[in-house]
Amino acid sequence: MMENIPVEIEIKLVIEMPDFSVISKMESYTKSRITQTYLSSPAHITHRVRKREYPDRVVYTETKKVRIDKMSSYEDEREISAEEYSELLLRQAPDTTPVEKTRHTVRYCGRTVEIDAYPAWKRSCILEVELPSRDTEYALPECIRVIRDVTGDKRYSNAAMSRAFPEELV
C-alpha cells in the first residue's frame, strides 16, 4: 500500500538553546516561522497542514505520515495553495492546538540539520537530522550541546505537542 511513498528516517534530539548568531553563519542557513496544524485522521495516520513563512515567501504543505518504527515513517507530502490550506484548517483535530515554532536550517557535514525553537521553551530546542539509512553516521556542529536523544519518544512528536507540550529538559 505504501510502496511508492518515501520513507523518512530521522533522529530527534533535545539540545540546549544554541547561539543563533553562530548558527546563522553556517552553510545554507535559513530561518522560517512554522505553524503546524493537526487534522482529524485515523489513529495510525498523522495528518497535518503547515504554513511556513520565509522572509520572501510563504509555503503551504499537507503531510500524511504512517509510523514504521521509532526512527522512520512513510511520509506523503505535497505543496498546497493558501486556499486549500484554509479549507483543510477546518478539519483541525478537536483536541489539538496549532504548534508554533521557528525553524533554523543549516547544512553540516553533508546533512540538513533542523533546529526548532518553541515559544514555550526558553533554554532548549529540538534538533532533527534526516538520514538516508538507519546506520548512517552524522555529526553535529561544535556549538550544539545534546541534552537527550528523544528519537521515537512520542511526547516530543509535534502531533503530541499539539495536545500537551512537554516540560523543558534543561
71: domain CATH number is 2.40.320.10
E-assigned strands of the chain? 7-16, 30-38, 46-53, 58-69, 72-80, 99-108, 111-117, 124-131, 146-149
pLDDT, tens digit, for every residue of 6-16? 888 899 999 99
Burial class (CB in 10 A: 0-12, 13-18, 19+), 31: middle
Residue in the block written with cell 548568531: 21
Q: How many domains does the chain have?
A: 1
Is 18 a member of any domain?
yes
| The pLDDT value given to residue 169 | 79
| The pLDDT value given to residue 1 | 45
Is 1 a member of any domain?
no
Is 139 a member of any domain?
yes
Is 113 a member of any domain?
yes
| The pLDDT value given to residue 170 | 67
Is 97 a member of any domain?
yes
Of 79, 73, 87, the C-alpha closest to 44 is 73
Q: Which residues contact 166 (CB under 8 A, 6 or more apart)?
A: 155, 156, 160
Q: Which residues of the chain have pLDDT under 50?
A: 1
Amino acid identity, residue 53? E
Of 126, 167, 143, 151, the C-alpha closest to 36 is 126
Is 26 a member of any domain?
yes
pTM of the model: 0.92
Is 154 a member of any domain?
yes
How many CB atoms neighbour CB 129 within 10 A? Answer: 20
19 lies in which domain range?
A: 7-161
| The pLDDT value given to residue 8 | 86
User: How many helices (H) does the chain have, and how many strands (E)?
Assistant: 3, 9
Is 168 a member of any domain?
no
